[in-house]
Amino acid sequence: MERRGDMARQRVTLVAASGATVTYVFILARQVGDPCDGCWMTEAVLVDREGIKAAKQHAMDQSMPVPEPAAPHVPARVATL
């Protein structure tokens, strides 16, 4: 995990039974204020583009189709009253 102050980044690599891999990058932020003061929460999840290139190459080597990744999902913040 890479951490700078109240922000952090964690890479997670998934490996399929076929050997294909994809890497996601989780962006985390430490929360300030109640009810989650001090908790680390996910701010965004991104697909590592280098991992996608490697997966495509693996698929070409194995003659398998590789679906295109979905657009990165950024969770919306929930406001409390």
Predicted TM-score of the model (pTM): 0.59
Query: For the residues of 25-36, what is the DSSP string, one character each?
Result: EEEEEE--STTS
pLDDT single digits (tens) 11-67: 999 888 888 888 899 999 999 998 999 999 999 998 887 766 666 666 667 665 555
What was the pLDDT predicted at 30?
A: 94
